[in-house]
Amino acid sequence: MIERINRGRVQASGVLLGPGDDAALVAAPDGRFVVTTDMLVQDRHFRLDWSSPEDIGRKAIAQNAADVVAMGAWPSAFVVALGCPADTALEFVDGLSDGMWAEAARAGASIAGGDLVRSRELVISVTAFGDLRGGAAITRAGARVGDTVAVAGRLGWSAAGLAILTAGSRPDDVAEALAAHRVPQPPYAAVLDTVTTGVTALTDVSDGLLADLGHIAESSGVAIDLDSAALRDPALERLAARMDADAAQWILTGGEDHAFAGTWSPETDLPAGWTPIGRVCAGHGVTVDGATRPGDAGWESFGGVDSAVPGRSR
């Protein structure tokens, strides 16, 4: 099976030694490497009746790659441990692996190794690596009062797709939302091409915009106020109206789009791909138009029911 998964794959140039020995060997030209790990569990982080194996593979890699990029690092490699029941179809593993390799390539990297074990439910554990190319790691702790808050990538569309799948009944014209839920498209390159100057704090949006900006606010010892008008998305509002849903709620609390949120020095002209959505202020917490939104908690790992629900980054 491991041979089958790796057959014909071409490793990225940074993978100096791929699968087949006790360990792999990956280049770290910067002399440091960024590392993050996420575990996805069947029927909790993904559902086989909602997503194809390729979709699941792409998403598993994308959410880890987004965490690497959120540090300002270029993805270099991934390793994947997969637990699956003994009766898992070969085609499922093939599809999962194809999706992983496709998304790893989109992120500029490849899959350097892994493990394959038997388990009762499907469990996918991805670890991702990145290289800072001599730059400083961009943490959540650098936001300063007066900075502009901006996002790159889409917000709320994955939450809309999840709402559609959960409701079961499908209004027309929802393909975009379903695709957003099944295969997030984090704008890796747009972020990495622009974070070299002026960005003071950076994160990916995986727990929901309010929750993830809350992490920046807490780590940086500041408050953040968002401008609701800047967050509006007419296409998402039209979709929400057809579902009697609240587009703002999707935008503010939906994770899994793996957009990026950052704070920028006010002297910096926001680069292409970034949309200003608010301001860093003195204080603590995150507000919208100056007011808190009670009950807008982000994703909680151990809350909720045992159905597929948005993933989280750490």
Residues 257-286 that bind a second copy (CB under 8 A): none
Beta strands of 153-266 (E only): which ranges? 199-205, 223-226, 259-264
Q: Are 121 and 128 in contact (CB under 8 A)?
A: no
Residue identified by tokens 């002297």 is 267
The length of the chain is 314
Q: Are 238 and 95 in contact (CB under 8 A)?
A: no
Residue 22 marked in a binding site: yes
What letters, b where the CB count within 10 A reaches 16 and e where it falls short, cover 52-85?
Answer: ebbbbbbbbbbbbbbbbbbbbbbbbbbbbbbbbe
Q: Which is nearer to a second copy, 264 or 299 (CB)?
A: 299
- CA–CA separation, 212 and 313 (whole Å): 10
The DSSP line for 222-235 is -EEEE-HHHH--HH
Residues 69-108 that bind a second copy (CB under 8 A): 70-71, 73, 77, 79-83, 86
Using CB under 8 A as the binding criterion, the count of chain residues that bind a second copy stands at 71
Q: Which of 11, 12, 44, 54 forms a contact with a second copy (CB under 8 A)?
A: 44
Residue 45 marked in a binding site: yes
Q: Closest by alpha carbon to 308, among 37, 36, 51?
A: 51
Residue 204 marked in a binding site: yes
Q: Which of 5, 11, 36, 177 forms a contact with a second copy (CB under 8 A)?
A: 36
The answer to the question of residue 249 lying near a second copy (CB under 8 A) is no
Least distance from a second copy to the Cβ atom of residue 254, Å: 18
Residue 132 per-residue DSSP state? -
The answer to the question of residue 252 lying near a second copy (CB under 8 A) is no
CA distances from 148 to 39, 59, 189, 237, 289 (A): 33, 29, 21, 25, 15
Q: Which is nearer to a second copy, 91 or 306 (CB)?
A: 306
3-state secondary structure (DSSP) of residue 271: coil
Q: Which of 39, 102, 105, 189 forms a contact with a second copy (CB under 8 A)?
A: 39
Site string (6-25) toward a second copy, x via CB under 8 A: ----------xx-xxxxxxx
Q: Which is nearer to a second copy, 174 or 202 (CB)?
A: 202
- Write the CB contacts of 31 (distance below 8 Å, at least 6 apart in sequence): none
Residue 237 marked in a binding site: no
Residues 116-135 that bind a second copy (CB under 8 A): 116-121, 123, 125, 127-130, 132
Q: Which of 6, 9, 27, 144 forms a contact with a second copy (CB under 8 A)?
A: 27
The answer to the question of residue 305 lying near a second copy (CB under 8 A) is no
Residues 201-240 that bind a second copy (CB under 8 A): 202-204, 219
- CA–CA separation, 127 and 219 (whole Å): 24
What letters, b where the CB count within 10 A reaches 16 and e where it falls short, cover 10-20?
Answer: ebbebbeebbe
Which range of residues in 66-74, 101-109, 249-257, 280-288 is near a second copy by CB under 8 A? 66-74
Q: Which is nearer to a second copy, 115 or 173 (CB)?
A: 115
The tokens for 152 are 């790159």
The answer to the question of residue 137 lying near a second copy (CB under 8 A) is yes
Residues making up the binding site: 22, 36-38, 45, 67, 114-115, 140, 204, 206-207, 256, 299
